[in-house]
Amino acid sequence: MDIHQIRCFKRVAELRSFTAAAKHLNITQPALSRQVQSLEDELGTQLLLRTTRGVQPTLAGKVMMEMGGNLLNYIEGIRKAVATAANDPAGDVVVGLPPSLSGILAPGLIEECRTHLPQVRLRIIEGLSMFIEEWLTLGRIDLAILTERPDMKMSITPLCQEELVLVRRSMPDLDGDANDAEAIASAPGHRSVSFDDMSGMTLVMTRGFKEVLLPQMPSGCRLRCDIEMDSLSAIRNLLSTTDLCTVLPYGVVQHERLGDEFQVMRIDSGPTRSLVIGRNASQPMSAAARAVQGAIHASVRRLPMSTRLQ
Protein backbone atom coordinates (compact mmCIF):
# COMPACT_ATOMS: atom_id res chain seq x y z
CA MET A 1 0.00 0.00 0.00
CA ASP A 2 1.43 3.35 -1.00
CA ILE A 3 0.34 6.97 -0.93
CA HIS A 4 -0.43 7.11 -4.65
CA GLN A 5 -2.84 4.17 -4.37
CA ILE A 6 -4.66 5.81 -1.45
CA ARG A 7 -4.86 9.15 -3.28
CA CYS A 8 -6.29 7.45 -6.38
CA PHE A 9 -8.88 5.50 -4.40
CA LYS A 10 -9.99 8.54 -2.40
CA ARG A 11 -10.51 10.65 -5.51
CA VAL A 12 -12.60 7.93 -7.21
CA ALA A 13 -14.71 7.46 -4.05
CA GLU A 14 -15.28 11.20 -3.69
CA LEU A 15 -16.23 11.79 -7.35
CA ARG A 16 -18.10 8.45 -7.67
CA SER A 17 -16.52 8.06 -11.11
CA PHE A 18 -13.32 6.55 -12.52
CA THR A 19 -13.61 8.80 -15.57
CA ALA A 20 -13.88 12.02 -13.57
CA ALA A 21 -11.16 10.94 -11.13
CA ALA A 22 -8.77 10.00 -13.96
CA LYS A 23 -9.26 13.43 -15.51
CA HIS A 24 -8.71 15.17 -12.16
CA LEU A 25 -5.53 13.16 -11.44
CA ASN A 26 -4.31 13.55 -15.03
CA ILE A 27 -3.80 9.82 -15.59
CA THR A 28 -5.50 7.32 -17.89
CA GLN A 29 -8.57 5.45 -16.66
CA PRO A 30 -6.96 1.98 -17.06
CA ALA A 31 -3.96 3.15 -14.96
CA LEU A 32 -6.33 4.49 -12.30
CA SER A 33 -8.28 1.23 -12.25
CA ARG A 34 -5.03 -0.73 -11.75
CA GLN A 35 -4.07 1.44 -8.76
CA VAL A 36 -7.43 0.90 -7.04
CA GLN A 37 -7.44 -2.84 -7.85
CA SER A 38 -3.92 -3.19 -6.42
CA LEU A 39 -5.04 -1.49 -3.20
CA GLU A 40 -8.07 -3.80 -2.90
CA ASP A 41 -5.90 -6.86 -3.56
CA GLU A 42 -3.42 -5.83 -0.90
CA LEU A 43 -6.13 -5.17 1.69
CA GLY A 44 -8.00 -8.34 0.69
CA THR A 45 -11.37 -6.61 0.45
CA GLN A 46 -13.54 -4.71 -1.99
CA LEU A 47 -13.48 -0.95 -1.45
CA LEU A 48 -15.76 0.19 -4.31
CA LEU A 49 -19.00 -1.11 -5.74
CA ARG A 50 -18.88 -0.72 -9.52
CA THR A 51 -22.22 -0.23 -11.30
CA THR A 52 -23.30 1.07 -14.68
CA ARG A 53 -24.23 4.35 -12.97
CA GLY A 54 -20.82 4.84 -11.33
CA VAL A 55 -19.16 3.66 -8.13
CA GLN A 56 -19.75 3.99 -4.44
CA PRO A 57 -17.64 2.99 -1.44
CA THR A 58 -18.35 -0.16 0.49
CA LEU A 59 -18.33 -0.12 4.29
CA ALA A 60 -14.62 -0.99 4.17
CA GLY A 61 -14.23 1.72 1.53
CA LYS A 62 -15.77 4.34 3.84
CA VAL A 63 -13.30 3.39 6.57
CA MET A 64 -10.50 3.66 4.02
CA MET A 65 -11.76 7.06 2.88
CA GLU A 66 -11.66 8.41 6.45
CA MET A 67 -8.36 6.90 7.56
CA GLY A 68 -6.69 7.35 4.19
CA GLY A 69 -7.86 10.98 4.16
CA ASN A 70 -6.32 11.52 7.61
CA LEU A 71 -3.06 10.00 6.37
CA LEU A 72 -2.98 12.25 3.28
CA ASN A 73 -3.67 15.30 5.45
CA TYR A 74 -0.85 14.30 7.79
CA ILE A 75 1.56 13.93 4.89
CA GLU A 76 0.54 17.32 3.56
CA GLY A 77 1.17 18.71 7.04
CA ILE A 78 4.68 17.26 6.94
CA ARG A 79 5.28 18.91 3.58
CA LYS A 80 4.12 22.29 4.87
CA ALA A 81 6.11 21.98 8.10
CA VAL A 82 9.29 21.21 6.19
CA ALA A 83 8.70 24.13 3.85
CA THR A 84 8.08 26.41 6.83
CA ALA A 85 11.25 25.20 8.55
CA ALA A 86 13.23 26.03 5.42
CA ASN A 87 11.84 29.57 5.41
CA ASP A 88 11.88 30.01 9.19
CA PRO A 89 14.80 27.85 10.45
CA ALA A 90 14.75 26.52 13.98
CA GLY A 91 16.87 24.25 16.14
CA ASP A 92 20.37 23.93 17.58
CA VAL A 93 23.48 24.88 15.62
CA VAL A 94 27.00 24.48 17.06
CA VAL A 95 29.81 26.57 15.53
CA GLY A 96 33.50 25.95 16.26
CA LEU A 97 35.91 28.91 16.31
CA PRO A 98 39.68 29.02 16.94
CA PRO A 99 40.95 31.57 19.49
CA SER A 100 42.13 33.97 16.77
CA LEU A 101 38.55 34.29 15.49
CA SER A 102 36.22 33.78 18.46
CA GLY A 103 36.60 37.27 19.91
CA ILE A 104 36.29 38.88 16.48
CA LEU A 105 33.40 36.90 15.03
CA ALA A 106 31.32 35.68 17.97
CA PRO A 107 29.68 39.01 19.03
CA GLY A 108 28.53 39.92 15.52
CA LEU A 109 27.37 36.38 14.74
CA ILE A 110 25.37 36.15 17.95
CA GLU A 111 23.67 39.48 17.25
CA GLU A 112 22.94 38.49 13.63
CA CYS A 113 21.26 35.25 14.76
CA ARG A 114 19.31 36.96 17.56
CA THR A 115 17.98 39.52 15.10
CA HIS A 116 17.23 37.38 12.06
CA LEU A 117 17.05 33.79 13.33
CA PRO A 118 15.10 33.93 16.60
CA GLN A 119 14.19 30.23 16.48
CA VAL A 120 17.81 29.10 16.12
CA ARG A 121 19.72 28.22 19.29
CA LEU A 122 23.33 29.11 18.54
CA ARG A 123 26.18 27.56 20.50
CA ILE A 124 29.78 28.65 19.95
CA ILE A 125 32.71 26.46 21.01
CA GLU A 126 36.29 27.72 21.03
CA GLY A 127 39.21 25.40 20.44
CA LEU A 128 42.45 24.96 18.54
CA SER A 129 41.95 24.30 14.83
CA MET A 130 43.12 20.68 15.11
CA PHE A 131 40.45 19.95 17.72
CA ILE A 132 37.74 21.83 15.81
CA GLU A 133 38.42 19.73 12.71
CA GLU A 134 38.16 16.55 14.79
CA TRP A 135 34.86 17.69 16.34
CA LEU A 136 33.52 18.41 12.87
CA THR A 137 34.48 14.92 11.70
CA LEU A 138 32.81 13.35 14.75
CA GLY A 139 29.64 15.39 14.25
CA ARG A 140 29.96 17.28 17.54
CA ILE A 141 29.74 20.62 15.78
CA ASP A 142 27.80 21.68 12.69
CA LEU A 143 30.02 24.40 11.25
CA ALA A 144 33.60 25.58 11.72
CA ILE A 145 35.35 28.79 10.72
CA LEU A 146 39.00 28.09 10.00
CA THR A 147 42.06 29.22 8.10
CA GLU A 148 42.15 27.33 4.81
CA ARG A 149 44.82 24.67 4.29
CA PRO A 150 45.43 22.49 1.22
CA ASP A 151 44.89 19.23 3.13
CA MET A 152 41.54 20.02 4.82
CA LYS A 153 39.28 16.94 4.93
CA MET A 154 35.92 18.69 4.93
CA SER A 155 33.54 20.54 2.68
CA ILE A 156 34.55 24.22 2.65
CA THR A 157 32.89 27.45 1.57
CA PRO A 158 35.14 30.51 1.04
CA LEU A 159 34.49 33.28 3.56
CA CYS A 160 37.00 36.12 3.13
CA GLN A 161 40.63 37.09 2.61
CA GLU A 162 42.27 38.73 5.61
CA GLU A 163 45.50 40.71 5.34
CA LEU A 164 48.49 39.76 7.47
CA VAL A 165 50.37 42.67 9.06
CA LEU A 166 53.56 43.15 11.05
CA VAL A 167 53.19 44.18 14.70
CA ARG A 168 55.90 45.33 17.09
CA ARG A 169 56.38 47.56 20.10
CA SER A 170 56.73 51.23 19.22
CA MET A 171 60.41 52.17 19.45
CA PRO A 172 62.06 55.55 19.94
CA ASP A 173 63.71 57.05 16.87
CA LEU A 174 67.03 55.40 16.11
CA ASP A 175 70.12 56.75 14.42
CA GLY A 176 71.91 54.73 11.82
CA ASP A 177 71.49 53.34 8.35
CA ALA A 178 68.05 53.99 6.90
CA ASN A 179 68.11 50.49 5.49
CA ASP A 180 68.59 48.95 8.92
CA ALA A 181 65.50 46.88 9.75
CA GLU A 182 65.08 48.37 13.21
CA ALA A 183 65.39 51.92 11.89
CA ILE A 184 62.84 51.23 9.17
CA ALA A 185 60.35 49.71 11.60
CA SER A 186 60.64 52.63 14.04
CA ALA A 187 60.67 55.49 11.51
CA PRO A 188 57.90 58.02 12.33
CA GLY A 189 54.89 57.60 10.07
CA HIS A 190 56.27 54.54 8.28
CA ARG A 191 53.35 52.16 7.75
CA SER A 192 54.77 49.42 5.54
CA VAL A 193 57.67 47.00 5.53
CA SER A 194 59.11 44.52 3.02
CA PHE A 195 60.13 40.90 3.58
CA ASP A 196 63.73 42.01 3.08
CA ASP A 197 63.29 44.53 5.90
CA MET A 198 61.77 41.82 8.08
CA SER A 199 64.74 39.52 7.56
CA GLY A 200 66.63 41.56 10.15
CA MET A 201 63.91 41.21 12.78
CA THR A 202 63.29 38.37 15.20
CA LEU A 203 59.70 37.13 15.02
CA VAL A 204 57.53 35.29 17.52
CA MET A 205 54.50 33.66 15.93
CA THR A 206 51.83 31.06 16.42
CA ARG A 207 52.45 27.88 14.45
CA GLY A 208 49.26 28.41 12.45
CA PHE A 209 50.09 31.94 11.29
CA LYS A 210 53.66 30.88 10.54
CA GLU A 211 52.38 28.08 8.28
CA VAL A 212 50.19 30.62 6.45
CA LEU A 213 52.95 33.22 6.04
CA LEU A 214 55.97 31.16 4.95
CA PRO A 215 54.53 29.84 1.63
CA GLN A 216 53.75 33.44 0.59
CA MET A 217 57.31 34.70 1.03
CA PRO A 218 59.40 35.57 -2.05
CA SER A 219 61.85 32.89 -3.19
CA GLY A 220 65.15 33.09 -1.35
CA CYS A 221 63.78 35.24 1.48
CA ARG A 222 64.38 33.98 5.02
CA LEU A 223 62.83 35.12 8.28
CA ARG A 224 64.04 34.60 11.82
CA CYS A 225 60.89 33.13 13.30
CA ASP A 226 62.07 30.22 15.42
CA ILE A 227 60.06 31.31 18.46
CA GLU A 228 56.56 29.80 18.50
CA MET A 229 53.81 30.62 20.98
CA ASP A 230 50.21 29.53 20.50
CA SER A 231 48.81 32.16 22.86
CA LEU A 232 47.94 35.58 21.40
CA SER A 233 47.80 37.21 24.83
CA ALA A 234 51.24 35.82 25.66
CA ILE A 235 52.63 37.12 22.37
CA ARG A 236 51.20 40.57 23.10
CA ASN A 237 52.79 40.62 26.55
CA LEU A 238 56.12 39.51 25.07
CA LEU A 239 56.04 42.21 22.39
CA SER A 240 55.39 44.92 24.97
CA THR A 241 58.65 44.19 26.81
CA THR A 242 61.05 43.10 24.03
CA ASP A 243 62.20 44.05 20.54
CA LEU A 244 60.49 40.98 19.04
CA CYS A 245 57.93 41.32 16.23
CA THR A 246 55.00 39.20 15.11
CA VAL A 247 52.72 38.79 12.11
CA LEU A 248 48.99 38.74 12.77
CA PRO A 249 45.78 38.90 10.75
CA TYR A 250 44.43 42.43 10.59
CA GLY A 251 41.19 41.40 12.28
CA VAL A 252 43.09 40.18 15.33
CA VAL A 253 44.92 43.51 15.53
CA GLN A 254 41.63 45.40 15.30
CA HIS A 255 40.03 43.24 17.97
CA GLU A 256 42.96 43.65 20.34
CA ARG A 257 42.67 47.46 19.95
CA LEU A 258 46.43 47.92 19.96
CA GLY A 259 47.26 51.49 20.95
CA ASP A 260 50.28 53.74 20.60
CA GLU A 261 52.32 51.14 22.45
CA PHE A 262 52.48 49.09 19.24
CA GLN A 263 53.20 49.74 15.59
CA VAL A 264 51.11 48.01 12.91
CA MET A 265 52.65 47.90 9.44
CA ARG A 266 51.48 46.58 6.10
CA ILE A 267 53.77 44.02 4.48
CA ASP A 268 54.54 45.21 0.95
CA SER A 269 53.70 41.98 -0.88
CA GLY A 270 50.33 41.81 0.88
CA PRO A 271 50.25 38.29 2.37
CA THR A 272 46.80 37.11 3.43
CA ARG A 273 45.05 34.24 5.13
CA SER A 274 41.95 32.69 3.59
CA LEU A 275 39.07 32.02 5.95
CA VAL A 276 36.56 29.31 5.13
CA ILE A 277 33.40 27.81 6.62
CA GLY A 278 33.84 24.06 7.02
CA ARG A 279 31.29 21.31 7.49
CA ASN A 280 31.14 17.52 7.44
CA ALA A 281 30.02 16.67 3.89
CA SER A 282 28.88 13.19 4.95
CA GLN A 283 26.15 14.65 7.18
CA PRO A 284 23.02 16.40 5.91
CA MET A 285 22.95 20.15 6.43
CA SER A 286 19.90 21.34 8.36
CA ALA A 287 17.96 24.44 7.39
CA ALA A 288 19.11 26.06 10.63
CA ALA A 289 22.79 25.35 9.88
CA ARG A 290 22.35 26.71 6.36
CA ALA A 291 20.80 29.86 7.78
CA VAL A 292 23.65 30.28 10.30
CA GLN A 293 26.13 29.92 7.45
CA GLY A 294 24.41 32.87 5.78
CA ALA A 295 24.55 34.77 9.07
CA ILE A 296 28.31 34.16 9.25
CA HIS A 297 28.77 35.73 5.81
CA ALA A 298 26.60 38.68 6.78
CA SER A 299 28.45 39.34 10.04
CA VAL A 300 31.89 39.06 8.41
CA ARG A 301 30.98 41.63 5.76
CA ARG A 302 30.60 44.21 8.52
CA LEU A 303 34.02 43.55 10.07
CA PRO A 304 37.33 45.26 9.29
CA MET A 305 38.95 41.82 9.03
CA SER A 306 37.68 41.61 5.44
CA THR A 307 39.02 45.06 4.52
CA ARG A 308 42.62 45.75 3.61
CA LEU A 309 44.62 47.88 6.00
CA GLN A 310 44.41 51.59 5.18
Per-residue pLDDT of the chain (310 residues; tens, 9 = 90+): 788 999 999 999 999 999 999 999 999 999 989 999 999 999 999 999 988 788 999 999 999 999 998 998 888 888 877 776 666 788 999 999 998 888 889 999 999 999 999 999 999 999 988 899 999 999 999 999 999 988 888 999 999 888 999 998 886 554 444 334 444 344 444 478 888 888 888 899 988 888 899 888 888 888 888 889 888 888 888 988 898 999 998 888 877 666 678 888 889 888 999 999 999 988 888 889 999 999 999 998 888 654 443 3
pLDDT at 259: 61
Helices 29-43 and 3-15: crossing angle in degrees, nearest 10, is: 110
pLDDT at 292: 96
pLDDT at 187: 41
Which DSSP category does 180 fall into?
S
SS3 state at 144: strand
Which DSSP category does 286 fall into?
P
Determine if the pTM surpasses 0.85: no
In the chain, residues under CATH classification 3.40.190.290 are: 163-271
In the chain, residues under CATH classification 1.10.10.10 are: 3-87
In the chain, residues under CATH classification 3.40.190.10 are: 91-161+273-306
SS3 state at 13: helix
Q: Write the CB contacts of 9 (distance below 8 Å, at least 6 apart in sequence).
A: 35, 36, 39, 47, 48, 61, 64, 65, 68
pLDDT at 11: 92
SS3 state at 93: strand
pLDDT at 282: 86
| Alpha helix ranges (H) inside the chain | 3-15, 18-25, 29-43, 59-87, 99-116, 129-138, 181-186, 195-198, 207-213, 232-239, 250-256, 287-301
Task: Tell me which fold the domain 91-161+273-306 belongs to.
Answer: D-Maltodextrin-Binding Protein; domain 2 (3.40.190)
Question: How does strand 272-279 pair with strand 155-169?
Answer: antiparallel
CB atoms within 10 A of CB 179: 10
Q: Select from 93, 153, 150, 146 the least CA-distant residue to 282.
A: 153
Class of domain 163-271 as given by CATH: alpha beta
Distances (CA, A) of 41 to 17, 45, 65, 125: 20, 7, 16, 57
Instruction: Answer for the pair 60, 88: CB distance below 8 angstroms, yes or no.
Output: no
Q: Is 3-87 assigned to CATH 1.10.10.10?
A: yes
pLDDT at 174: 41
pLDDT at 279: 94
